[in-house]
A and B are shown apart, each in its own frame.
Chain A
Amino acid sequence: MKAPDSGRLFRYSTLLCLALAVIAPASGDIYLLNLLVLMLIFIIFASSWNLLALSGQGSLGHAAFFGIGAYASTLIAVKTGLSPFIALPLGGVVAAGVGLLIGLTCVRLKEWFLAMVTFGFAIITQTLVVSVLAPVTGGWSGLASPRLLSAAIPGNSFIEYYSILGIAALSILAIRALMGSKIGLAFAAIRENETEARASGVDPVRYRLLGFAASAFLAGVAGALEIHHFGYVTPDIFGIDISFLPVIYTIFGGLGTLAGPVIGTVILTIVSEGLMNFGLTFERFIIIGLILILVVIFLPRGLVSLPEEIRKRWKRHGDNPVVSQTKKE
């Protein structure tokens, strides 16, 4: 699974993207800056979903963790007066705690069952937030959330942008380090063949739970970032759309690769935003849905596998005459 990540081309394009991300705010365009902030937040979110997939699991209700992180961080910041920068990882920790609980219930579930339970879990969370927890969460009307940086600070949007860029880069590096470590090997072993993994002394339950908690932590941080960026949180954050976006971005880019969620998020955000500017509010989702269907059917390993696929097809083309010659003999 690592193959598409290696190679000089990949390293250069990573550097190029980073350079672009660093100099982009120089344009001074606030619209562009906002778009990039959302892109970075969803890069973290999609990467967190991808991490869960790497541990051999999946979720159709990742919005639950996104939203829990957002609400927890907001409440912590409001109640204690702490800076959102400190509340942010704490929100992630709360999300990770809930993720651990969900992981415990899902540890024996696979495929459809796992998908359905996680799907339902986001709805349960939303129901709880608007009913039992309404006195704390403000119910359907939501909560005002402190900004990451007070608007009084000069250049606050730039500092905010670079902070989020830093957090996104850090998250991806952390996932990379995790996948390169013994834990990553254990994940791969469980993903490929659970029985064999167990036979060679890997405890699947422990690593599954770890995968769930780590993924929920990152999703929670991403949710908290989004809410501190907008300054407001409502139960809509648990919506089905929010659960599906990281899945779509990751599948489009390439499931199970480090670059997949990043590429998927960047391209699809640009496509979606571009179509929106043409006034295609609903049509853009039709196009994104069609893109997803086409990718699943024709390019199941995502966009990152495109160069490899083209090379393969090319080679096969070149080989053809040779094959027919040998057949004649």
Chain B
Amino acid sequence: MVDVGILLQIVFWGLYAGCIYLLLATGLNLIFGVMKIVNFAHGEFLMLGAYVTAAIFALSGLNPYAIILLTMLVLVSIGGFVERLCFRPILGTGKLNEIFLSIGLIYVFENVAAVIWSDRWQSIQSPYSGISIPIGPVSLPLDYVIIMVVTTAILTGLYLFLERTQVGMAIRATSQNRRGAMLVGIDVERMDMLSFGIGSALAAAAGTLWVVSGQVFNPYMGSIPAIKAFAIIILGGLGSIPGAIIGGLLYGLAENATAFLVGGPWKDAVSFIVLIVVLIIRPRGLFGEAEE
């Protein structure tokens, strides 16, 4: 019989990890929905988010959770620039080009960060580290609770933006039918840039949460979370935001359960084994449409 305390701990830690993954995956899917591209350098935005947060924190000493908005703002502009300068010229020239371009971006971002901030592992300390809330038989770090609340707030904000604002509706229209959106006078290229920027900002938010939870970061940390985000969007369906959210949480839970059951080093591998098995059975993902 598994101890209830341990079970609860696995669930809470899994949900916390899931929050970071789902923000990454939601960003990827928002971009995919509108532009039909997968940015393999998406993890680099998480890494940049982590560094920008740490830099602002070191400069201002503000509460790190307040910095999340600033960080997102910085990354919206970086993401917009990347879309305009790199992805727009190759849009529609083939899926391979996107992958190759992303590899170039990974090299550029990783090493720009290494030049500016060195390639050492770093970490910052949240003002709430060391404070825990007892929930039933386990005690949960306060930071993890705040992270779950912040993630919920960001997702609610995204939902309201997409559902209630004019621009949000234009983004959804573009993602549903690009040509139709063009016909009714939506500037689809602006929507591309905007959704790429927002997607990058969501990755940056994940980076902020990564940093404030006390996890270490270096310029090369982005790749592994990014691959996990790919796994999530494959499982949850390309372009589906609810799929990314549920998939992200499930992935976090599965990963923590694996780490507990078979040991830490397997954490990264087992999830890929699951992914590969799913893809063998359904080559377009669990909820992927059988297009083409």
Binding site for B on A (CB under 8 A): 58, 60, 105, 108-113, 115-117, 119-121, 123-124, 127-128, 130-131, 240, 244, 247-248, 251, 255, 282-283, 285-286, 288-293, 296-297, 300
A292 to B280, CA, bound (A): 32
- Of A105, A127, A247, A283, the residue contacting B276 (CB under 8 A) is A105
Q: Which residues of A contact B111 (CB under 8 A)?
A: 282-283, 285-286, 289
Given A109-B283, A113-B279, are A124 and B103 also a contact pair (CB < 8 Å)? no
Q: Which of A121, A128, A300 interacts with B93 by CB under 8 Å?
A: A300
Across the two chains, which residue of chain A brings its CB closest to B93? A300
Using A112-B230, A116-B227 as known contacts, list a sample of 15 further A-B pairs with CB atoms less than 8 Å apart, ordered by residue number in A: A105-B279, A108-B280, A117-B276, A120-B231, A127-B266, A128-B269, A282-B119, A285-B111, A286-B112, A289-B111, A292-B100, A292-B104, A293-B104, A297-B86, A297-B89
B272 is contacted by which of A112, A121, A130 (Cβ under 8 Å)? A121
Q: Report A-chain residues with C-beta under 8 Å of the C-beta of B265.
A: 127, 130-131
Q: 1/0 per position for B94-116, CB-CB distance to A under 8 A?
A: 01110111011111101110110
Chain B: CB-nearest residue to A127 = B269
Q: Given A115-B40, A285-B107, A123–B224 Cβ distance below 8 Å?
A: yes
CA distance A112 to B37 in the complex (A): 9
CB atoms of B99 and A112 under 8 A apart:
yes
- B263 at interface by CB-CB < 8 Å: yes
Instruction: Name which residue of chain A comes closest to B262, CB basis.
Output: A131
**Cα of A121 to Cα of B104 in the assembled complex, Å:** 21
Pick the residue among B38, B86, B106, B275 that contacts A112 (CB under 8 A): B38
Interface membership of B90, Cβ < 8 A: yes
Q: Does B268 contact A (CB under 8 A)?
A: yes
CA distance A110 to B268 in the complex (A): 23
B110 / chain A contacts, CB cutoff of 8 Å = 285
Given contacts A116-B231, A300-B93, contact A289 B272 (CB under 8 A): no
Answer whether A297 and B105 are a contact pair too, CB < 8 Å, given A124-B272, A286-B111.
no
Smallest beta-carbon distance B45→chain A, Å: 15
A276: min CB distance to chain B, Å: 13
In angstroms, Cα B202 to Cα A39, docked, is 40
26 CB-based A-B contacts, threshold 8 Å: A58-B99, A111-B95, A111-B96, A112-B230, A112-B238, A115-B40, A116-B230, A116-B275, A117-B275, A117-B279, A120-B276, A121-B272, A123-B268, A240-B220, A240-B223, A247-B100, A282-B111, A285-B108, A285-B110, A286-B111, A289-B103, A289-B104, A293-B101, A293-B108, A296-B100, A297-B101
Question: Is the beta-carbon distance between A289 and B105 smaller than 8 angstroms?
Answer: yes
Binding site for A on B (CB under 8 A): 38, 40, 86, 89-90, 93, 95-97, 99-101, 103-108, 110-112, 114-115, 119, 220, 223-224, 227, 230-231, 234, 238, 263, 265-266, 268-269, 272-273, 275-276, 279-280, 283-285
> In the complex, what residues of B have CB within 8 A of residue A292's CB?
100-101, 103-104, 107
Question: In the complex, are the beta carbons of A109 and B279 less than 8 A apart?
Answer: yes
Inter-subunit contact B263/A120 (CB<8 Å) = no
Is B95 a contact partner of A289 (Cβ separation < 8 A)? no
Q: A119 to B86, Cβ gap below 8 A?
A: no
When the two chains form their complex, are residues B223 and A282 in contact, meaning their CB atoms are under 8 A apart?
no
Which residues of the other chain, A, contact B96 by a CB distance below 8 angstroms?
58, 111, 255
> Which of B90, B103, B223, B272: most chain A Cβ within 10 A?
B103
Q: Report if A293-B231 is in contact (Cβ < 8 Å); known contacts: A120-B272, A124-B269.
A: no
In the complex the two chains form, is B95's CB within 8 Å of A119's CB?
no
Contact call A297/B95, Cβ cutoff below 8 A: no
Residue in B closest to A130 when the chains form the complex, CB atoms: B265
A284, closest chain B residue (CB): B111
- Note all chain B residues with C-beta closer than 8 A to A60: 40, 99, 103
Q: Shortest beta-carbon distance, B183 to chain A, in Å?
A: 29
B234 adjacent to A116 (CB under 8 Å): yes
Which of B38, B97, B105, B227 is within 8 Å of A120, CB to CB? B227
Interchain nearest-CB distance for B265 vs A (Å): 4
Q: How far is the CB of B55 from chain A (nearest CB, A)?
A: 18
CB of A108 to closest CB in B, whole Å: 4
Query: In the assembly, what is the distance between CA of A248 and CA of B101, in Å?
Result: 10
User: In the complex where A108-B283, A112-B99 touch, is A123 in contact with B269 (Cβ < 8 A)?
Assistant: yes
Instruction: Let me know if B90 and A286 touch, CB within 8 A.
Output: no
Chain A contacts for B104, CB-based, 8 A: 248, 289-293, 296
Residues of A within 8 A of B106 (CB): 244, 289
Identify which of A112, A130, A251 contacts B95 (C-beta below 8 A).
A112
Residues of B within 8 A of A113 (CB): 234, 279, 283-285
Q: Which residues of A contact B231 (CB under 8 A)?
A: 116, 120
Q: In the complex the two chains form, what is the Cα distance from A127 to B93 in whole Å?
A: 36
Q: In the complex, what residues of B have CB within 8 A of residue A283's CB? A: 111, 115
Asked if A124 contacts B223 (CB within 8 A), the reply is no
Q: What CA separation (Å) do A73 and B99 show in the bound complex?
A: 32
Q: Which of A113, A128, A251 has the most CB of B within 10 A?
A: A113
Whether A282 contacts B115 by the Cβ 8 Å rule is: yes
Most buried by A among B95, B101, B223, B276: B276
